[in-house]
Structure 1
Amino acid sequence: MKNKKKDIRALSKEQLQDFFISIGQRPFRGKQVYEWLWSKGAHTFEEMTNLSKETRQILEENFVINHIQVDEMQRSKDGTIKNAVKLHDGFTVESVLIPTYSRTTACVSSQVGCSLDCKFCATAKLKRMRNLNPDEIYDQVVAIDQESRLYNNRPLSNIVFMGMGEPLMNYNNVLKSIEMITSPEGLGMSSKRITVSTSGVPKMIKKLADDEVKFNLALSLHSAIDEVRTQVMPFNQTFPLEDLKESLLYWYQKTNKKVTYEYLIWKDINDSQRDIEALVEFCKLIPCKVNIIEYNPIDDGMFQQADSKITDRYQNALEKSGITVTVRRSRGKDIDAACGQLANKSSK
């Protein structure tokens, strides 16, 4: 028989208050339960000790808390931690804690699998099975924050939506999770410390701008030449660079916030002078910065990291044009926790 219990974290505070009114109790009970669910991260109704046993029983009969479980935790030699996170329906996603001297960053997933088809990414080899709910994204952050306090003796400082999935293809749930992460009734983190990374869905980038979001935007670019980008990211055929440029211009005009372009350099794919010049030109569109990321192989050998001299050429050309550029070394490669490597190798 199908479970008729409702997911309690799908309810707003007002809906919880209405529930308590409907069973003849005072509405402030709804606020208490809401606090237990979000601020205190309760996994069970039994933990809600300021509620009577009878009230907890009523909650138990009507609702369920679909809390995630960290099924397996791996620690890299560089301090990176990867969690295989089991969801209530048996699916697994992965999230990562990246500690550095100046910050501790949670890299969280937004989908089981991915909606897009980037050829260089392990997650893209899994079809999209479903979107994550806001509470499942939120729980990943809570789990990583706890691990950061335990292993690094400091709280989480930053969150990046760069794990499994395309965040803008799970738009409403991602924004709701960020609302709870930043809310004083949730984790109370600053929006400035959150970055949502997209592979580039123009319509949704415009929607972010219209919704006046306060978090940062990053874009996985990897080529500023349409035919090259389509070769590595086939969906670029549907969302070409001209459309992407238009949406980025719209984003900047609406938000006045710069964009970070994430860029991998591969041998014989985007390592020519033409590729470098195209990126420099693309970067003139709006204020931006470029993160050149070390490529992490995913076993099929089609993509290989370009020579470091090519990275230097890119860096020099960008800096000469006044564009901020950083070269980012990969973390957690030994446990398949680096960018593009998340693919549930731990699950069957």
Structure 2
Amino acid sequence: MQDHVILQCVFLYTILKEKKKDIRSLTKDQLRDYFTENGDKAFRGNQVYEWLWKKGAHSFGDMTNVSKDTRAFLEEHFVINHIRVDDMRRSEDGTIKNAVKLHDGLTVESVLIPTATRTTACVSSQVGCSLNCEFCATARLKRMRNLQPDEIYDQVIAIDQQSRLYHNIPLSNIVFMGMGEPLMNYNNVLKSIEKITGEDGLGMSPKRITLSTSGVPKMMKKLADDGPKFNLALSLHSAIDEKRTKIMPFNEQFPLSDIKDALKYWYDQTGTKVTYEYVVWKGINDTEEDVHELVKFCKVIPCKVNIIEYNSIDDPRFEQASPKAIEMYRSQLERNRIVVNVRRSRGKDIDAACGQLANKQQ
């Protein structure tokens, strides 16, 4: 009987909450208009907007310079769909992985990656993923929904707080390399970046932000047209169509010829070089032909290459290539005057490394 009553209460609370409007879906002007239409001063909208975005308020009760009556009014009509760090795990190397609970009960993961000189937030843009990369744990999850701008923004706020608490420095960089394909959630991702870089938000330099895509040509061109100030990375992994399709099946719809056209368009419009992310696997893309084709691909536009250590997802098809193969890539790229970095993974002991985010705790 008691359980039945509790379930009824939860159901009623959910219904009432759904009737309230998400206040962070309103612009500052819309908030100002709302207050004037309800007999208050327009500047009240400025105050509330600052609490929501610059100060990261979790509840209307946090808004201490707003009158109690106004806070009660906001509580009656609006909701702040704030995220909650449901589980935090710390790696031996200082990396932190967060299981982030969303307002509807779904979960995504985000990661704080520290080095000696900076800390980087790796944030998610979708619950699950729209694409089907064979080597990525996130791809095993169906895409349940896109994240809203505030849900992406909240991940950054939470990681900034962790960076200050555990590493004594503010967050310095952001990469959209968590769960999901950012260009498949285009509008919300760009709105989140506007908030992150805006003066009425976090005021972070867009040059410290990198959006990583697996390659959606149409959206890459749209992004170029929109004149972004942030950086673009392409998750490439093979410059041979047949091989890339085997490990990234969506490549059949978005072949490398279309991606090359999109990259040329990107560079013509922005003048900004692209970073290619590239994992080398044993028996898949560790031959001289693979290196030769990558070198040719790198001649399309100015670029640099990050060779990334493979992080196991318990799939026997994929195994880290030998040090000899990695050295072959590095030496051939450098010989052709292509900037190359060999990246070592962090957070592997807590499944926080690239390609490992899959909500295992659920």
Equivalent residues in 2 for 1:7-22 (5 A)?
7-22=22-37
Equivalent residues in 2 for 1:282-297 (5 A)?
282-297=297-312
Per-residue displacement from partner, 1:92-122 (whole Å, max 9, x unpaired)? 0000000001210000000000000000000
Q: 2:94 aligns with which of 52, 58, 79?
A: 79
Alignment partners' CA distance in 1, 2:290 and 2:59: 54
SS at match of 1:263: strand
Alignment partners' CA distance in 2, 1:209 and 1:38: 27
Alignment partners' CA distance in 1, 2:345 and 2:277: 13
Equivalent residues in 2 for 1:1-348 (5 A)?
2=15, 3-347=18-362
Alignment partners' CA distance in 1, 2:329 and 2:244: 17
Instruction: Report runs of 4+ in structure 1 exceeding 2 Å deviation.
Output: none
Q: Please report the TM-score for the alignment, with normalisation by the length of structure 1.
A: 0.99
Tell me which amino acid in the other structure corresponds to 1:258. Answer: K
Alignment partners' CA distance in 1, 2:49 and 2:274: 35
Q: Figure out how many residues of one structure are paired with residues of the other and give that number.
A: 347
Alignment partners' CA distance in 1, 2:282 and 2:315: 14
SS at match of 1:316: helix
Identity, in percent, stands at 73
SS at match of 1:57: helix
Tell me which amino acid in the other structure corresponds to 2:67. Answer: S
SS at match of 1:219: strand
Tell me which amino acid in the other structure corresponds to 2:326. Answer: T
Alignment partners' CA distance in 2, 1:77 and 1:53: 46
Per-residue displacement from partner, 1:250-270 (whole Å, max 9, x unpaired)? 000000000000000001100
By how many angstroms is 1:302 displaced?
Answer: 1.2
Per-residue displacement from partner, 1:32-70 (whole Å, max 9, x unpaired)? 000000000000101111111111111001100000000
SS at match of 1:154: coil
Stretches of structure 2 that go unaligned for 5 or more consecutive residues are: 1-11
Alignment partners' CA distance in 2, 1:53 and 1:75: 39
Q: Please report the TM-score for the alignment, with normalisation by the length of structure 2.
A: 0.95
SS at match of 1:56: helix
Alignment partners' CA distance in 2, 1:19 and 1:51: 15
SS at match of 1:82: strand
SS at match of 1:71: strand
Tell me which amino acid in the other structure corresponds to 1:188. Answer: G
Alignment partners' CA distance in 2, 1:319 and 1:124: 33
Alignment partners' CA distance in 2, 1:20 and 1:295: 53
Tell me which amino acid in the other structure corresponds to 1:119. Answer: E
